[in-house]
């Protein structure tokens, strides 16, 4: 099993840009652990504003393995660990 937690964007941007940054980081973390997004089991997403969900979903849907999508929950969290963060993602995958 491979677990990630607290994956956030490194640079400011809108929610779609931050989501893409996070997903690129997740790709790198999964590769380092010997797996990839086709092996995702679960994903949890925290958004600072649920009005951002559609833009987040667009970026997510561009990235996710459509043949092997994980179960995913999106939650509202008005405050994340650093000012300016709009989204945080945690995933679990198999190897």
Domains contained in the chain, number? 1
DSSP string, 3-54: E---B--SS---HHHHHHHHHHHHHHHHHHTT--GGGEEEEEEEES-GGGHH
Q: What is the per-residue pLDDT across 10-58, written as a single tens digit (0 to 9) for each?
A: 999 999 999 999 999 999 999 999 999 999 999 999 999 999 999 999 9
CATH code, domain with 16: 3.30.1330.40
Distance (Å, whole) CA 77 – CA 50: 9
Q: What's residue 63's pLDDT? A: 98
Q: What's residue 38's pLDDT? A: 98
Distance (Å, whole) CA 40 – CA 92: 6
Full domain range(s) for residue 26: 2-93
Q: What's residue 21's pLDDT? A: 98
């Amino acid at each position: 099993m491979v677990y990630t937690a607290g994956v956030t964007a490194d640079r400011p941007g809108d929610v779609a840009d931050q989501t893409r940054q996070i997903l690129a980081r997740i790709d790198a973390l999964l590769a380092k652990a010997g797996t990839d997004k086709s092996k995702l089991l679960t994903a949890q997403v925290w958004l600072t504003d649920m009005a951002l969900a559609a833009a987040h979903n667009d970026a997510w849907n561009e990235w996710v393995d459509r043949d092997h999508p994980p179960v995913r929950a999106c939650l509202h969290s008005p405050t994340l660990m650093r000012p300016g963060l709009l989204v945080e993602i945690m995933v679990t995958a198999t190897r």
